[in-house]
Chain A
Amino acid sequence: MSLQKKIIDRYRILFPKDNLRQISERTGIQLTRVYRLLNGKAMKTHEYEAIENVIKESIKVNPNYSRFENLFEQASETLTNHEIGEIADYIERKIENKKYARTYIYPVFEDAIIA
């Protein structure tokens, strides 16, 4: 998966209901440019960074993310290798299941018509 597709997928997970205008307002990328990017046009570095910043900001305000980070540290100090393995298995499964569903929602950016 290309970096571009990954970051768009990540954005879509965090803001699933954003329309083109909202994406444009949030990222500061021109509306017509957003349309092109979502249709597979190659992303420029500053556009990538703009989307990345929005994602980072969104993660910062998500209490579960910092909770997860704290717990990860605590787990490394407290739990055994076996128990950490069980948690890793659990997370891995969650991710795998999401992958199948996510690929379905956004099938082929590369093949989409470029405006």
Chain B
Amino acid sequence: MKGLTSIERIILESIENEQLPLKEIVNKSGLQEGVSFNTLQVLLIRGIIKFEKGLYSLNQYIPHNINEEINGSVAKKSEFLEIVEALVGTKADKILCFQKIALDQRDEKIFRAMLWNLESFLKDAHQKSRSHIPVKNRKIIFWALGDVQKVVGELIKVY
């Protein structure tokens, strides 16, 4: 499969730039031990991570084509859709708002400015807490803004 599944991505994000044993990866990712182990084996076979002296770490010398496969736009799009689908489907505590809003030019500018502030706030918050909040306890946040006509046009676009 091209790209990474969301589970594989969580494992990679749990390792980050550290060298970690399985137990620590399980703790950070929140995945069951068996799932974590299987995922690590797949990532090892693909050459994305290394295993030395009982510790897993990211392979710093991933070939360009594999790197592109993992982090390219096609892979990111699939991962994003997978996460959004799971979020929409989950019954757990969540905030989900989807509306078609009538925004005039002035209000759209205000909204974009608010988004800019929001992004800046989130960036700072993440920097401040990333070292002590493991991946499993982080929040998934996303936002979007698009024109109804253009988005609907995409649905019937002929390739």
Contact = CB atoms under 8 A, between A and B. Distances in A.
Contacts of A80: 158-159
Main secondary structure of the interface of B (DSSP, over half): helix
B1 interface: yes
A9 B102 CA distance: 51
B78 A103 contact: no
Interface string B73-96: 000001001100000000000000
A21 interface: no
B112 to A, nearest CB: 30
Contacts of A92: 1
Contact of A97 (B2, B5, B158): B5
B7 A97 contact: yes
Contacts of B153: none
Interface string A60-93: 0000000000000000000011110000011011
Contacts, number: 34
A80 B159 CA distance: 7
A104 B159 contact: no
Nearest to A103: B38
Interface residues of B, number: 15
Nearest to B32: A104
B34 A103 contact: yes
Main secondary structure of the interface of A (DSSP, over half): helix
Contact of B38 (A81, A89, A100): A100
A1 interface: no
B19 interface: no
A101 interface: yes
Given A83-B159, A103-B34, A104-B32, A89 B39 contact: no
Nearest to B33: A104
Interface of B: 1-2, 5-7, 32, 34-35, 38-39, 78, 81-82, 158-159
